[in-house]
């Protein structure tokens, strides 16, 4: 007995030693063994089945699966289903796979859980305006918990596409224009969805999309071609995807576009070289909707077989919806155009995710009616959505401190086509969100100002020419002490296939604003929209402007919280607002050019008809209070290449309210082997300051923030002078210079 326990202890110690020493022990090895033994008993057809994903059409038709897909599930020709949710429905489909097929391999259920599942959070672009990484992570956690309680295992999010063209409707789904902010946000979203372990019942697998550079579609037209230098790709577009992969994202989705002539879904350079070889990605890649079939329209494949071979050879593991893999892979193996080993590898990657989710132990563990009931829209979830919504609002203008409105206000006119809308508030890609449960602005205001008298007038539709409602709107304004004017876009005007060439206020809304403004009462414009809008007239004329995007289930309450001053707005724009579409693409981190703008010199880089300046710069957003920045203090005027430098400022709240400020740090490399951006965001910190309070905010500069792709495309630093800027937006900053030395 004694000898036995000594032996056991020795064994234990040896194995611990082994694990500590042998850092190459792969935590996934146990899954790999399981996957390998399963693969060894699977037929080629069964393996190919794992590479196929079909929709259940739930959004259009309810819980309905096309009859041929039912047959496909039962014959093992499909391994995953999307657009199916609900504990009962997913259980029913799962039973078909588990009981109906030879090996009983469970299905994987995916869905576009983009900004909440049932409790809808602000659209992703709005969340990015909070610059609050913890709140963003929390939003993804809540979305995952609700989705997982309805049988879902996998979300097609986050969208990590950098977007610098507001004509592109899908800008709403991302984090805006900046690679640094975009990277941090993409990583938090992945961590929020996937949690500490995919095995936990409140987590789901993330899918980073759309790889790659989908946001750079020419002229902002959705699905359009992308042509860009490798430098631009690596410096600007790739970092957010990479950050999501580094955060552990288990899956990646291909983009619809071609990149420099090669469609993403057939792009070996993107998937084999960059994603797998350079970044070490181990998960699986799914196409976007029918994207293998679309290789025919791209004109790079003459038939189904060629299209599938291209995708498979590029390293794409799962086909979404076109069924091309199912229809062709067996032939391609037979004809030796692809190798069965490639199919094994793809199937293994997918099966591994199923193992990680625990589906082989219990295929129904996510489809639990009781958990669904307890989880969906529970008070904590609504609270998290409300917190996120308040933080996503950006105050763009506040002349004469017209905001916040005193609770003694007598009559408020609430005017505009979005003033009492509910549907629009949950935005596009609103998953299984029920818009009838969202709080309209009018409802939120009425709750917040119980003793005020409200007059509501719609005034006009969002996108129609009818002005017959103007008179009533004007007379409402006349009777009121203040006008809240809710204008902007309908929810369907941003999102997929929702590009616009005119990004002004649709319909007659600007004319409505002019008519109401002419009455002479203070006007607060509350914007609801999924992209930057060209709102020059509003900026020049109305007293206050609140950018509220589409804030989700609690939108009306969150806006009322800001209007009343119970929450002091703290959002900052994650994207530049142009003055007109002719300035697009416009973003803060541009190059200086050889002829930087000089008003007195014709032959400098500018337009004849509009200034180079945007309407609102990146990082901009006001508060009800005022923040003052001291000059920058440097720990030294020099930094050793492998050392660090501390950069600090004192920020003082010199206004009348407590408030939060996003302190932003930008860097410029003055002289380098390639022309560098005029400034680039490299760090930020969101701080809370009581009225009258001051705080020192310090940042550590390291080599990483100074590195870039040099003229020879190697990555690293170049010695010389750098300028560091710190401020409350990308334009109004303090600056200091330091020298990077050997
Ligand atoms: C097409 C979209 O581009 C993609 O983002 C989405 O995840 C899929 N459809 C599935 O709905």
- Which tens digits make up the pLDDT trace of 655-676? 999 999 999 999 999 999 999 9
Three-state SS at 470 = helix
Three-state SS at 660 = strand
Q: Is the CB of 209 inside a 6 Å radius of any atom of ligand 1?
A: yes
Of 73-77, 146-150, 254-258, 325-329, give the lowest mean pLDDT range: 73-77
Question: CA distances (Å), 2 to each of 8, 10, 12, 14, 16, in order?
Answer: 10, 12, 15, 18, 21
Q: Assign 44 a pLDDT band (cuts: 50, 70, 90).
A: very high
Residue nearest to atom 11 of ligand 1 (CA): 112
Residue nearest to atom 9 of ligand 1 (CA): 289
Q: To the nearest 10°, the Cα dihedral for 335, 337, 343, 345? A: 140
Q: Using the structure block, give the residue that is written with the tokens 């596009």.
A: 428
Q: Percentage of the chain surpassing pLDDT 70?
A: 96
* pLDDT for 236 beyond 70: yes
Q: Is the dihedral of CA 363, 366, 371, 373 positive or negative?
A: negative
Asked if 617 contacts 730 with a C-beta cutoff of 8 angstroms, the reply is yes
* pLDDT for 409 beyond 80: yes
For 284, phi then psi, to 5°, come to -110, 155
Q: Assign 16 a pLDDT band (cuts: 50, 70, 90).
A: very low
pLDDT at 1: 40
Residue 413 CA to residue 523 CA, distance in Å, equals 10
Q: Assign 69 a pLDDT band (cuts: 50, 70, 90).
A: confident
Of 59-68, 419-428, 563-572, give the lowest mean pLDDT range: 59-68
Q: Assign 346 a pLDDT band (cuts: 50, 70, 90).
A: very high
Three-state SS at 670 = coil
The whole-angstrom distance between residue 57's C-alpha and the CA centroid of its chain comes to 24
pLDDT at 18: 43
Asked if 292 contacts 311 with a C-beta cutoff of 8 angstroms, the reply is yes
Q: Could you tell me which residues are beta bridge partners of residue 591? A: 677
For helices 304-314 and 324-334, what crossing angle results, to 10°?
90
Q: Is the CB of 531 inside a 6 Å radius of any atom of ligand 1?
A: no
The whole-angstrom distance between residue 201's C-alpha and the CA centroid of its chain comes to 24
Q: Is the CB of 118 inside a 6 Å radius of any atom of ligand 1?
A: no
Average pLDDT over residues 137-148: 98
| Mutation probe of ligand 1 site: the residue of 174, 208, 253, 430 with most atoms within 8 A of C-beta | 253
Residue 319 CA to residue 334 CA, distance in Å, equals 20
pLDDT at 13: 42
pLDDT at 619: 99
Residue 143 CA to residue 282 CA, distance in Å, equals 25
Average pLDDT over residues 84-94: 95
Q: Assign 21 a pLDDT band (cuts: 50, 70, 90).
A: very low
Task: Give the chain's radius of gyration (CA, Å).
Answer: 27
Whether the ω angle into residue 585 lies within 30 degrees of 0, i.e. cis, is yes
Q: Could you tell me which residues are beta bridge partners of residue 667? A: 680, 724
Q: Assign 28 a pLDDT band (cuts: 50, 70, 90).
A: confident
DSSP 290: T
Q: Is the CB of 170 inside a 6 Å radius of any atom of ligand 1?
A: no
Residue 281 CA to residue 345 CA, distance in Å, equals 13
Strand ranges for 39-159 from DSSP E: 52-55, 80-82, 108-111, 154-155
**Is residue 272 flagged as an active site residue?**
no
Residue 186 CA to residue 62 CA, distance in Å, equals 31
Q: Is the CB of 258 inside a 6 Å radius of any atom of ligand 1?
A: no
* pLDDT for 176 beyond 90: yes
Residue 270 CA to residue 513 CA, distance in Å, equals 47
Tell me the two tokens of residue 166: 């507001």
Q: Is the CB of 294 inside a 6 Å radius of any atom of ligand 1?
A: no
Asked if 539 contacts 580 with a C-beta cutoff of 8 angstroms, the reply is no
Asked if 545 contacts 397 with a C-beta cutoff of 8 angstroms, the reply is yes
pLDDT at 677: 98
For 185-206, what is each residue's pLDDT tens digit? 999 999 999 999 999 999 999 9
For 266-297, what is each residue's pLDDT tens digit? 999 999 999 999 999 999 999 999 999 999 99
Q: To the nearest 10°, the Cα dihedral for 637, 640, 641, 642? A: -130
Q: Tell me the CA–centroid distance for residue 350 and ligand 1, in Å.
A: 19
Q: Is the CB of 709 inside a 6 Å radius of any atom of ligand 1?
A: no
**Of all atoms in ligand 1, which is nearest to the CA of residue 157?**
7
Q: Tell me the CA–centroid distance for residue 112 and ligand 1, in Å.
A: 7
Q: Tell me the CA–centroid distance for residue 63 and ligand 1, in Å.
A: 19
Residue 619 CA to residue 526 CA, distance in Å, equals 19
Asked if 195 contacts 141 with a C-beta cutoff of 8 angstroms, the reply is yes
For 381-401, what is each residue's pLDDT tens digit? 999 999 999 999 999 999 999
* pLDDT for 316 beyond 50: yes
Residue 240 CA to residue 574 CA, distance in Å, equals 14
For 614-645, what is each residue's pLDDT tens digit? 999 999 999 999 999 999 999 999 999 999 99
Q: Tell me the CA–centroid distance for residue 431 and ligand 1, in Å.
A: 12
Tell me the two tokens of residue 445: 């205001």
Average pLDDT over residues 164-168: 98
Q: Is the CB of 288 inside a 6 Å radius of any atom of ligand 1?
A: yes
Q: Is the CB of 156 inside a 6 Å radius of any atom of ligand 1?
A: yes
213: left (phi over 0), alpha (psi -120 to 50) or beta: left
Q: Percentage of the chain surpassing pLDDT 90?
A: 94
The whole-angstrom distance between residue 618's C-alpha and the CA centroid of its chain comes to 17
Q: What is the pTM of this model?
A: 0.96
Q: Tell me the CA–centroid distance for residue 498 and ligand 1, in Å.
A: 13
The full length of the chain comes to 742
Residue 37 CA to residue 360 CA, distance in Å, equals 13
Q: Tell me the CA–centroid distance for residue 430 and ligand 1, in Å.
A: 13
Q: Could you tell me which residues are beta bridge partners of residue 577? A: 616
Q: What is the mean pLDDT of the chain?
A: 95
* pLDDT for 249 beyond 90: yes
Residue nearest to atom 1 of ligand 1 (CA): 289
| Mutation probe of ligand 1 site: the residue of 123, 156, 222, 265 with most atoms within 8 A of C-beta | 156
pLDDT at 12: 40
Q: Is the CB of 492 inside a 6 Å radius of any atom of ligand 1?
A: no
Asked if 292 contacts 324 with a C-beta cutoff of 8 angstroms, the reply is yes
Tell me the two tokens of residue 652: 């003082």
Q: Using the structure block, give the residue that is written with the tokens 């006349």.
A: 478
Tell me the two tokens of residue 557: 């309450």
Say how many CA atoms lie within 13 Å of 373 toward its Cβ: 4
Which helix H or strand E contains 242, and what residues bound it? helix 238-246
pLDDT at 61: 66
Asked if 208 contacts 252 with a C-beta cutoff of 8 angstroms, the reply is yes
Asked if 484 contacts 526 with a C-beta cutoff of 8 angstroms, the reply is yes
Which helix H or strand E contains 387, and what residues bound it? helix 379-392
**Of all atoms in ligand 1, which is nearest to the CA of residue 214?**
3
Work out the end-to-end distance of the chain between its first and last CA atoms, rounded to an integer number of angstroms.
64
* pLDDT for 429 beyond 80: yes
DSSP 208: E
Which helix H or strand E contains 733, and what residues bound it? strand 733-741
Q: Tell me the CA–centroid distance for residue 6 and ligand 1, in Å.
A: 58
* pLDDT for 222 beyond 70: yes
Q: Assign 10 a pLDDT band (cuts: 50, 70, 90).
A: very low
Largest CA distance in the chain: 96
| Mutation probe of ligand 1 site: the residue of 85, 255, 289 with most atoms within 8 A of C-beta | 289
Residue 544 CA to residue 522 CA, distance in Å, equals 8
Residue 429 CA to residue 583 CA, distance in Å, equals 28
Q: Is the CB of 141 inside a 6 Å radius of any atom of ligand 1?
A: no
Q: Assign 23 a pLDDT band (cuts: 50, 70, 90).
A: very low
Closest to 399 (Cα-Cα) out of 521, 572, 532, 522: 522
Residue nearest to atom 7 of ligand 1 (CA): 156
Pick the catalytic residue: 178, 288, 322, 557? 288
Asked if 193 contacts 200 with a C-beta cutoff of 8 angstroms, the reply is no
Q: Tell me the CA–centroid distance for residue 170 and ligand 1, in Å.
A: 11
Q: Is the CB of 112 inside a 6 Å radius of any atom of ligand 1?
A: yes
């Amino acid at each position: 007995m004694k000898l036995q326990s000594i032996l056991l202890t020795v064994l234990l110690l040896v194995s611990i030693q082994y694990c500590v020493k042998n850092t190459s022990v792969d935590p996934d090895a146990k899954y790999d063994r399981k996957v390998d033994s399963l693969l060894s008993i699977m037929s080629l057809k069964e393996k190919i089945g794992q590479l196929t994903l079909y929709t259940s059409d739930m959004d259009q038709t309810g819980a309905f699966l096309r009859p041929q897909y039912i047959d496909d599930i039962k014959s093992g020709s499909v391994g995953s289903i999307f657009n199916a949710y609900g504990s009962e429905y997913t259980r029913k489909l799962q039973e078909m796979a588990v009981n109906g097929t030879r090996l009983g391999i469970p299905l994987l259920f995916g869905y576009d859980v983009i900004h909440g599942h049932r409790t809808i959070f602000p659209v992703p672009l709005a969340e990015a305006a909070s610059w609050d990484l913890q709140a963003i992570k929390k939003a993804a956690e809540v979305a995952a918990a609700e989705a997982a309680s309805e049988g879902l295992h996998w979300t097609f999010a986050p969208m990590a596409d950098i977007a610098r063209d507001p004509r592109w409707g899908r800008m709403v789904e991302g984090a805006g224009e900046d690679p640094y902010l975009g990277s941090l946000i993409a990583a938090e979203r992945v961590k929020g969805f996937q949690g500490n372990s995919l095995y936990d019942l409140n987590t789901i697998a993330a899918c980073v999309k759309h790889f790659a550079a989908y946001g750079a579609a020419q002229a902002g037209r959705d699905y359009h071609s992308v042509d860009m230098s490798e430098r631009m790709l690596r410096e600007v577009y790739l970092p957010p995807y990479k950050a999501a992969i580094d955060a552990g994202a288990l899956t990646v989705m291909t983009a619809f576009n071609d990149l420099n002539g090669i469609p993403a879904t057939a792009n070996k350079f993107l998937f084999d070289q960059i994603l797998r070889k350079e970044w070490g990605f181990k998960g699986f890649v799914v196409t976007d909707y029918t994207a293998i079939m679309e290789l025919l329209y791209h004109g790079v494949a003459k038939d189904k077989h060629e299209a599938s071979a291209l995708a498979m050879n590029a390293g794409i593991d799962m086909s979404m919806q076109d069924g091309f893999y199912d229809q062709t892979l067996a032939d391609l193996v037979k004809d030796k155009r692809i190798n069965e080993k490639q199919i094994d590898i793809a199937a293994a990657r997918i099966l591994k995710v199923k193992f990680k989710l625990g589906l082989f132990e219990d295929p129904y563990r996510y489809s639990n009616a009781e958990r669904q009931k307890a989880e969906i829209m529970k008070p904590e979830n609504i609270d998290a959505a409300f917190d996120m919504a308040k933080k996503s609002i950006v105050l763009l203008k506040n002349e004469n401190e017209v905001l916040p409105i005193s609770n003694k206000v007598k009559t408020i006119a609430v005017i505009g086509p979005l003033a009492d809308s509910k549907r629009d508030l949950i935005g596009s890609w609103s998953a299984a969100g029920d818009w009838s449960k969202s709080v309209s602005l009018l409802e939120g205001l009425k709750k917040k100002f119980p003793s005020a008298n409200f007059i509501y007038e719609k005034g006009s539709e969002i996108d129609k020419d009818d002005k017959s409602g103007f008179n009533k709107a004007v007379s409402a304004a006349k009777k009121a002490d203040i006008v809240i004017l809710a204008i902007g876009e309908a929810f369907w005007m941003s999102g997929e296939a929702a590009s616009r060439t005119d990004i002004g206020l649709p319909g007659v809304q600007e004319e409505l604003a002019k008519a109401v403004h002419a009455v002479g009462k203070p006007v607060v414009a509350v914007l609801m929209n999924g992209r930057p809008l060209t709102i020059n007239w509003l900026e020049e004329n109305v007293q206050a402007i609140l950018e509220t995007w589409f804030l989700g289930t609690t939108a009306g309450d969150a806006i009322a919280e800001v209007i009343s001053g119970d929450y002091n707005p703290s959002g900052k724009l994650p994207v530049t607002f142009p003055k007109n579409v002719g300035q697009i693409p416009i973003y803060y981190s541009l190059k200086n050019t050889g002829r930087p703008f000089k008003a007195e010199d014709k032959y400098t880089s500018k337009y004849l008809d509009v200034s180079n300046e945007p309407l609102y710069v990146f990082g901009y957003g006001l508060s009800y209070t005022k923040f003052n920045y001291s000059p920058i203090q440097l720990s030294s005027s020099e930094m050793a290449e492998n050392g660090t430098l501390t950069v600090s400022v004192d920020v003082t709240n010199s206004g009348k309210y407590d408030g939060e400020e996003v302190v932003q740090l930008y860097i410029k490399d003055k002289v380098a082997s390639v022309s560098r951006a005029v400034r680039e965001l490299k760090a930020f910190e969101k701080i809370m300051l009581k009225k009258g309070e001051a705080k020192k905010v310090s940042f550590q500069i390291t080599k990483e923030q100074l590195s870039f792709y040099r003229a020879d495309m190697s990555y690293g630093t170049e010695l010389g002078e750098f300028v560091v800027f710190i401020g409350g937006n990308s334009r109004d900053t303090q600056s200091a210079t330091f020298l990077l030395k050997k």
